[in-house]
Structure 1
Amino acid sequence: MEKFDLIIIGAGRASGLAVNAGKAGRKVALIEKSTLGGTCPSRGCVPSKLLIGYANVARGIKESARHFIDSKIENIDKKKIFEKTNRYIDSIDGAYARRLNENVEVIYGEGSFLSNYVVEVNGRKLQADKIVIATGTKPIAPAHEKAWTSDNVFPLLGDIPKSITIVGSGFIACELANFFDAIDIETKMLVRNETLLGNEDEDISNIFKEEFTKNVDVAFNTTIEDIDYQEDSFKLTLLNSNGQKQEHLTHRLLYATGRESNAGSLKLENTDIKVNERGYIVSDEDLQTTVDGVYVVGDANGKYMLQHAAAYEVNHLSKVLLEGEKSKVRFKYMPHGVFTDPEIASVGMSEKKLQEANIKYVANTTDWLASAKAQSTRLKYPRTKFLINPDTYEILGCHMIGPESATMMHQVLAVMHIDNDIRHLKDMIYIHPALSESLLPAAIKVISAVKKYNLKSST
């Protein structure tokens, strides 16, 4: 039995905890079955955003006519794009390893529990009083063994697709479809219903659907009835809601239909650690599982499956384990972005969720055209939607669609984090004519709507 001060299973965002623990002189075992850094930097949010950078440039050239500029793309060097992205991915493991000191032992392999405080990896038995589970999630398995998922598409980017079909309607599907289509790879999306980005506020997702489908070929109400793989391509039999069938040929097939828990590989049946009905590890406000001293962070707990949530949790747990922090981990508000074309940012509840919860609110949606910078994009669809508590002026939800939405959202987040009163956005000074200036009329209009609501309610 090898004894450690701390065992960490999963070297994604939790590798930061290993860095801090090593600096503090703790003996750490860091177990990773793939590459250090985890999904985000090697096969998730970071490489996908690098690809979107290329897509944005290509889209700008293709859509230059709306600025009265005639232009065309002579060539897109897809090989260079993929090589550059893969070079970044190849550097990840080494970059993370260089942050660790001699107190941290990296063990490549799949860790599993023998008991509450004993973990086995590569035949070695490791024991610690403090264990952190940070095993993330995995893509739901595709319907064909030759099909890609978001976890293996990036190492395969050297195999440049002649065409690609993407199954799914969430942010991963939309981000990748936007990229492939923008760089002139024939792209088709298959969606089983009529909605894209169904978790977004309905008004925002409707605008997104209208704009996104101007570029990307999306077959709604469509499923795959049969897959025939031969000669390095897929022949798909598609079935729509009217019962009509259609043959579709594609070089590559990618499934982006969601992710699921990785907990099955941990052999938790050997422990007192509990999972919920979805298979995610149960934890409390201390990030502790049902076993004292065993913690879970990131996607493995199934709560907020976002990289910035994992980073926040790891930072908090680092203070708990290394500095004696006693406070609970609490997320006041959890924002997210969808980095495609159009870009979306969201925080708080959607209008539908407020209605389902029977929460009183006032809604207002405002375009961005009061901002000259927004006008300069020559786009008419950008919108900001506020959902406000009429009694307290609290921002219950904010949803944006338009260029740099995720950046603009931080101004709203700052207000929400301090004391969450929409009136601060009306009273503050904006740089004129910055893009974020479009938040000013949005705040003014929703505040006016709240006052009218309250006046009507009092009479």
Structure 2
Amino acid sequence: MPEFDLIVLGGGTGNLVASAAAEDGLDVALVERDRLGGTCLNRGCNPSKQLIHRANVAETVRTAGSVGVEATLESIDFERIVDDVREEIDADAEAKAAAAREHDRVTFYQGEGRFVDERTVVVGDEDGETERLTAETVVLAGGSRPVVPDAIAGTEETAFLTSDEALWLSERPDRLVIVGGGYVAVELAHFFGEMGADVTIVGHGAVLLDREDADVAERLTEAYRERHDLRLGYTVTEIAGDGTDKRVTAEDADGAEIEVTGDRILLATGRRPNTESWNVSAAGIETDEEGFVETDEYLRTSAEGVYAIGDIAGNYMFKHSGDKEAEYAVENAVRGRGEPVEYPGMAHAVFGSPEVAGLGATEDDLDGDYEIGRCRYDETALGSALDDHGGFAKALVAPDGAVLGCHVVGPEASTMIHEVSTAVAAGADASTIAETIHVHPAISEVVQGAFRDVRDVAPTGF
């Protein structure tokens, strides 16, 4: 039975830990059932955002007339778009695998792995051969997968997509029904809509992105209602049909039923941790009621010598938070330092149209005294030229100036949130952001405007 200094389970975020540990001189086993890079590289963040970039280009051409530029979108080569992205993603994944195989301190096991005892894992390859591995330290970076709700009838008999498959379609559907109203639904509705599909979204919430600040979610929903068929406030009960005649049945809180049809159905109803497939109970690893591995402030699990990071731990389900946890796992699991994990200025973004970004508390999260600052894009010089969705930035600030939250909906929101994220991580308050000299007329003045509004630190003129 091979013994290692460290076993890393999962080749997405875990790949960062395995690489750093090997560079530190440890003998490392890296176990991944699929390709290195995990969900983000192979079927998540990276390909989706590359595809969405193409959607943004198409949208720019379609809307050019609104600013006096006459342009015509002659055609969209959907198959080429997907193939180009696939080729780049495949090359990145293969390069990671080659680097892992060539490292003399890393043994890369590409196959199904599962715990069979404390810090002991059995790995099976594609030929059915198994090998038993053990180590004094294990880092579990086992990821997550799309949820297929048991409450929806017909999933066994009816073909449907999850985000895993939707990114790699060779042919664009003419009519796409998306079940769900979160970030996957919002992003893929934008992509397929700009590719030319008619998109219907069936969601249980009153708005899309209902975990975002309410004002932001309402603005995003209004924009999507202009371009897509939104059926909100409905719970899907059944999917049915075959070929290009598929049906989604849903009902509202009063039991009123609707039926929508499409060529394809995309279930975008959340993600769940891969704890069962890793058989974590065999290692004495405790999970919460939703199946996430429970960790302490050092990312240690209930099993001695086992740490957990990324989606499977459920602290945040972002690639960038998982990467930060990988840094702490290297310090704690590999180097033996007791560094409590912190997430200063943790932000997130949704790459729809318009973009959404935020950090900290939403207004619904807050109790007690706080102040609100707002600035619309059209209140700034460049923002007025870029935005036609009624976009804005919103700052939530404590009486002492501490930044409680910041939320943006509009062009480049995913970039603009970083000035607030950096400021919060550095310990700056709202006045510092408001008083920092911004390039004029950069779009970041929208964020500055929200903090100026709440702190009242500068003259505004007539």
Q: Does 1:448 align with 2:456?
A: yes
Asked if the contact 1:349–1:397 (Cα under 8 Å) also holds between the matched residues in 2, the reply is yes
Residues in 2 aligned to 1:221 and 1:163: alpha-carbon distance in whole angstroms: 21
Out of 369, 378, 388, which is 1:360 matched to? 369
Q: Secondary structure at the match of 2:411?
A: coil
Per-residue Cα deviation, 1:336-372 (whole angstroms, up to 9, x for no partner)? 0011101011000001011xxx342111222133421
Out of 128, 133, 137, which is 1:126 matched to? 133
Per-residue Cα deviation, 1:179-210 (whole angstroms, up to 9, x for no partner)? 00011012111112321101100011111111
Q: Does 1:193 align with 2:196?
A: no
Greater alpha carbon shift after TM alignment, 235-244 vs 142-151: 235-244
Q: Does 1:108 align with 2:110?
A: yes
Residues in 1 aligned to 2:279 and 2:250: alpha-carbon distance in whole angstroms: 39
Residues in 1 aligned to 2:65 and 2:256: alpha-carbon distance in whole angstroms: 38
The AA in structure 2 aligned to 1:308 is H
In the alignment, what sits opposite 1:154?
A: 167
In the alignment, what sits opposite 1:381?
A: 390
Per-residue Cα deviation, 1:87-132 (whole angstroms, up to 9, x for no partner)? 2232233121133212211112221112112111122111100101
Asked if the contact 1:58–1:183 (Cα under 8 Å) also holds between the matched residues in 2, the reply is yes
Asked if the contact 2:139–2:329 (Cα under 8 Å) also holds between the matched residues in 1, the reply is no
Gaps of 5+ in 2: 125-129, 458-462
Out of 311, 314, 329, which is 2:323 matched to? 311
In the alignment, what sits opposite 1:7?
A: 7
Once the two structures are superposed, the pairs formed by residues 139-288 of structure 1 within 5 Å of their partners are 139-141=146-148, 143=152, 144-145=155-156, 146-155=159-168, 157-240=169-252, 243-288=255-300
Residue 160 of structure 1: CA displacement? Answer: 3.1
Residues in 2 aligned to 1:20 and 1:283: alpha-carbon distance in whole angstroms: 21
Out of 381, 402, 418, which is 1:410 matched to? 418
In angstroms, what is the RMSD of aligned CA positions?
1.9
Out of 332, 335, 345, which is 1:333 matched to? 345
Residue 379 of structure 1: CA displacement? Answer: 2.4
Residue 23 of structure 1: CA displacement? Answer: 2.1
Residue 294 of structure 1: CA displacement? Answer: 0.6
State the TM-score, normalized to the length of structure 2.
Answer: 0.91
Residues in 1 aligned to 2:442 and 2:219: alpha-carbon distance in whole angstroms: 23
In the alignment, what sits opposite 1:86?
A: 86
Residues in 1 aligned to 2:250 and 2:389: alpha-carbon distance in whole angstroms: 35
Residue 140 of structure 1: CA displacement? Answer: 0.7
Residues in 1 aligned to 2:106 and 2:280: alpha-carbon distance in whole angstroms: 25
Per-residue Cα deviation, 1:40-59 (whole angstroms, up to 9, x for no partner)? 01100111101111111111
Residues in 2 aligned to 1:245 and 1:291: alpha-carbon distance in whole angstroms: 48
1:378/1:207 CA distance change after superposition, 3 Å: closer
1:299/1:59 CA distance change after superposition, 3 Å: same
Residue 386 of structure 1: CA displacement? Answer: 0.8
Residues in 1 aligned to 2:270 and 2:427: alpha-carbon distance in whole angstroms: 35
Residues in 1 aligned to 2:333 and 2:25: alpha-carbon distance in whole angstroms: 13
Asked if the contact 1:178–1:216 (Cα under 8 Å) also holds between the matched residues in 2, the reply is no
Residues in 2 aligned to 1:241 and 1:349: alpha-carbon distance in whole angstroms: 29
The AA in structure 1 aligned to 2:68 is F
1:22/1:247 CA distance change after superposition, 3 Å: same
Give the number of equivalent residue pairs: 444
Asked if the contact 1:367–1:382 (Cα under 8 Å) also holds between the matched residues in 2, the reply is yes
1:235/1:272 CA distance change after superposition, 3 Å: closer
In the alignment, what sits opposite 2:23?
A: 23
Q: Secondary structure at the match of 1:147?
A: coil
Residue 380 of structure 1: CA displacement? Answer: 5.6
Q: Secondary structure at the match of 2:219?
A: helix
